[in-house]
Amino acid sequence: MAIARVRQVLFATVLLLTWVTPTTGGQERAPNGGIYGELLPFVGLDGVRLEVSGLGGGIFNVPSVVGDPETVVTGLSRAEHQELDELIRADIAEAFRTGGIPLLASDRSASELRPLLAIRIGWARVKPDVITVQVRIELLEAARLVKDQSRIVWSSMWGSTYNSISSGPDLAAVIRSVTRGQVTSFVGLYVRAHRAG
């Protein structure tokens, strides 16, 4: 008799928990029903704007350099910079398309408040045959200051930095690979936060 009563109580508890526990409607959830902390910055996003910096050409006025100063200083010629920029932007567009993430157009105005994915690509020659590569990716959201509600500031909601090393000839491939890896991490978290449950 006591065993039957225990079974009834257990069945009623499971039924009640199933009925009362809210469904999430999309976000991946922890066993306790909470949203994983790593996914919180991505919840509620409906696409992002994109800003890629660090690939643009510059003016290189370096004394006593034989050949193209840009190639000597950065390891890439102007044409290679442009080609790499196009390839990276195509990789990002493809990753966003595959992940179903809207890539929002930016009007570049001061009143633009939609979230921004900022990708900063940098590299430096530390030895004649060693170049360090760093790619920083950040999800930025607009926020109002508590003390001055009229001012908008940009706050980093999520970010990741990855460093790698190139020997020189493979520099463009290393930069592209590291950038693709960072974007893949962002897309994976965004998709997890928006996955239908």
CA 182/CA 174 separation, integer angstroms = 12
79 DSSP β-pair partners: none
Q: Where residue 73 falls among pLDDT bands split at 50, 70, 90?
A: low
Q: What is the pLDDT of residues 9-51, one digit of tens each?
A: 444 444 333 333 333 345 566 666 666 677 778 888 889 999 9
- Spatial neighbors of 54 by CB under 8 A, at least 6 apart, are 120, 121, 122
Nearest Cα neighbor of 49 from 87, 99, 96, 86 is: 96
Q: What is the mean pLDDT of residues 116-125?
A: 90
